[in-house]
């Protein structure tokens, strides 16, 4: 089993502390649980708590996100069940009853809500997470009824959620209060939703023959894709200008216009979103390179311009297409993309995989490009045109060195033409002198 990286170890520590805090908050109340007790129960030092969470409220935010992530996971599990609509309604009803019966969670959420009155960030997160749960319920109801998202279903989800929350609060005082109203009201609300959908379909002359045909037209998948894309775009923007520890999931969710719980749903948390954003930047850069057309030399120049543009736009950012970052996983990602680029360049220059010497030389040239661009960003002692000409010239020099050391290195017709084009201007200049 491979050893965990430092970021992976930090993520595991945060998760352990959040789970322990959640259990202690539920058992004894948040106000009665100190950070020192959380550290002791989780098996960590008090310093480990403060190195991960600057305050108790920040730990509360992590606990809150954990609670709602688990709730979203439970709703997703119900949505993925196979069976009839009645079976899935029964599963949703069972989930609702379970959440209502668990008064410990209700008491904790109520305590967190009271705390949020003096903490705007905590209040925003509670609102975003509750909205995410309501949205997930609405999507599930749309799936069960075979209808698309609608205001009626959103209202139904709000009614189910609010009724469950109200019953749960009452049961913290009087456990004898029955959860029966949920079991009776939910099917009735769904029946009303389906009747509303049928009327809508009939009025537009799109009457389906059964629920299964209607369910094929629902748009939950596209909505899920849209929320994932929005979060990814927001993460690229935010992480492109800030360090990992300076960014909050609340900031990303607000910028994306989505519920904060969807970060865990799509990416497994902040760390997963961070790595997905980095991978998306690399993939986008690769796609731009792949889209270049024309002779080899002009494509090389445009490719270098693309890289310099990226380096300028994200100077100092962990998403700057550079190995000059402390994050081990980002460096490993960078190396994977470098290997892919070297393979593509070998195909371009040699028509195949290339020799070990040629591949090493190409990887070395790319390291030179990265170092030269980083120095140029720092000093600006030469013009951008001079920088680009230096990078192009160094590639030709690298290629000539490979051919000198191994004259049998195969070359593609494109590489031969490029070398000839490069040699001609030099010959003319020499003659003119």
pLDDT score recorded for residue 195: 53
Query: 159, 94 in Cβ contact below 8 A?
Result: no
pLDDT score recorded for residue 256: 86
Query: 345, 411 in Cβ contact below 8 A?
Result: no
Does residue 284 have a pLDDT over 80? yes
Residue with tokens 């537009």: 204
* 199 class by beta-carbon count within 10 Å (0-12 exposed, 13-18 middle, 19+ buried): exposed
* 57 class by beta-carbon count within 10 Å (0-12 exposed, 13-18 middle, 19+ buried): middle
Least confident of 126-135, 177-186, 202-211: 202-211
Query: 145, 193 in Cβ contact below 8 A?
Result: yes
Higher per-residue pLDDT: 293 or 337: 337
The predicted model gives 358-383 an average pLDDT of 86
The predicted model gives 197-207 an average pLDDT of 42
Does residue 307 have a pLDDT over 60? yes
Does residue 409 have a pLDDT over 60? yes
Give the span between the Cα atoms of 130 and 327, in whole angstroms: 33
Question: Percent of the chain at pLDDT above 90?
Answer: 1
pLDDT score recorded for residue 169: 75
Give the span between the Cα atoms of 145 and 139, in whole angstroms: 10
Each residue of 6-23: pLDDT tens digit? 667 777 888 889 889 889
Each residue of 157-167: pLDDT tens digit? 777 777 777 77
pLDDT score recorded for residue 312: 78
Does residue 425 have a pLDDT over 50? no
Alpha helices in 102-150 (DSSP H): 103-115, 120-145
Alpha helices in 268-383 (DSSP H): 270-290, 296-313, 328-350, 356-379
Provide the phi-psi class of 292: left if phi over 0, else alpha when psi is between -120 and 50, else beta.
beta
Higher per-residue pLDDT: 138 or 397: 397
DSSP state of 30: S
Higher per-residue pLDDT: 21 or 350: 21
Each residue of 60-88: pLDDT tens digit? 878 877 887 787 778 777 777 777 777 77
Instruction: Using the Cα atoms of residue 201, residue 204, residue 208 and residue 212 in order, give the sign of their dihedral.
Output: negative
Crossing angle between the packed helical segments 120-145 and 85-101, to the nearest 10 degrees: 150
Residues 6+ away with beta carbon under 8 Å from 278:
239, 318, 319, 330, 333
Higher per-residue pLDDT: 277 or 292: 277
Higher per-residue pLDDT: 181 or 424: 181
Least confident of 79-83, 102-106, 157-161, 211-215: 211-215
Tell whether pTM > 0.85: no
pLDDT score recorded for residue 7: 67
Query: 373, 387 in Cβ contact below 8 A?
Result: yes
pLDDT score recorded for residue 424: 47
On the CB side of 47, CA atoms within 13 Å amount to: 0
Cα distances (Å, whole numbers) of residue 296 to 354, 373, 398, 399, 419? 17, 21, 16, 14, 10
Does residue 275 have a pLDDT over 60? yes
Each residue of 226-236: pLDDT tens digit? 888 889 999 88
Instruction: Retrieve residue 334's tokens.
Output: 């960078």
Crossing angle between the packed helical segments 220-239 and 120-145, to the nearest 10 degrees: 150
Does residue 178 have a pLDDT over 50? yes
Question: Percent of the chain at pLDDT above 70?
Answer: 77
Query: 107, 67 in Cβ contact below 8 A?
Result: no
Q: What is the largest CA-CA distance in the chain?
A: 101
The predicted model gives 256-277 an average pLDDT of 82
pLDDT score recorded for residue 271: 84
pLDDT score recorded for residue 153: 67
pLDDT score recorded for residue 41: 92
Higher per-residue pLDDT: 404 or 321: 404
Read off the pLDDT band of 183 (50, 70, 90). Answer: low
Residues 6+ away with beta carbon under 8 Å from 23:
41
């Amino acid at each position: 089993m491979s050893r965990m990286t430092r970021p992976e170890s930090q993520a595991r520590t945060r998760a352990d502390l959040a789970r322990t805090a959640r259990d202690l908050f539920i058992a004894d109340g948040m106000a009665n649980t100190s950070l020192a007790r959380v550290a002791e129960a989780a098996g960590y030092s008090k310093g480990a708590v403060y190195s991960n969470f600057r305050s108790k409220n920040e730990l509360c935010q992590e606990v809150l996100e954990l609670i709602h992530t688990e709730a979203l996971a439970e709703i997703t599990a119900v949505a993925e069940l196979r069976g009839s609509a009645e079976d899935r309604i029964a599963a949703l009803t069972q989930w609702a009853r379970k959440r209502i019966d668990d008064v410990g969670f209700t008491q904790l959420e109520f305590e967190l809500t009271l705390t949020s009155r003096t903490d705007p960030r905590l209040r925003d997160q509670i609102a975003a997470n509750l909205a995410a749960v309501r949205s997930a319920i609405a999507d599930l109801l749309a799936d069960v009824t075979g209808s698309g998202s609608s205001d009626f279903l959103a209202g139904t989800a709000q009614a189910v959620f609010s009724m469950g929350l109200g019953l749960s609060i009452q049961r913290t005082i009087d456990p004898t209060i029955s959860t029966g109203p949920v079991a009776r009201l939910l099917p009735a609300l769904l029946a009303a939703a389906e009747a509303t959908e049928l009327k809508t379909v009939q009025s537009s002359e799109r009457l389906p023959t059964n629920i299964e045909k209607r369910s094929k037209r629902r748009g939950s998948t596209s909505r899920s894709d849209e929320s994932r894309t929005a979060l990814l775009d927001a993460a690229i923007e935010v992480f492109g200008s800030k360090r990992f520890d300076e960014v909050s999931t609340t900031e990303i969710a607000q910028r994306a216009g989505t519920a904060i719980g969807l970060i865990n749903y799509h990416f497994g948390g902040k760390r997963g979103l961070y790595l997905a954003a980095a991978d998306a930047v690399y993939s986008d850069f690769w796609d731009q390179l792949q889209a270049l057309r024309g002779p080899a030399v002009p494509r090389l120049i445009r490719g270098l311009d693309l890289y310099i543009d990226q380096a300028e736009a994200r100077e100092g950012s962990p998403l700057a297409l550079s190995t000059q970052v402390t994050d081990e996983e980002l460096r490993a990602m960078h190396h994977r993309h470098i290997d892919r680029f070297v393979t593509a360049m070998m195909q371009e220059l040699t028509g195949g995989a290339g020799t070990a010497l040629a591949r090493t030389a190409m990887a070395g040239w790319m390291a030179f490009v990265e170092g030269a661009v980083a120095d140029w960003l720092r000093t600006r002692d030469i013009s951008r045109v001079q920088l680009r000409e230096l990078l192009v010239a160094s590639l030709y020099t690298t290629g000539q060195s490979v051919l000198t050391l191994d004259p049998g290195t195969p070359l593609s017709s494109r590489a031969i033409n490029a070398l000839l084009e490069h040699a001609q201007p030099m010959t003319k200049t020499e003659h003119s002198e």
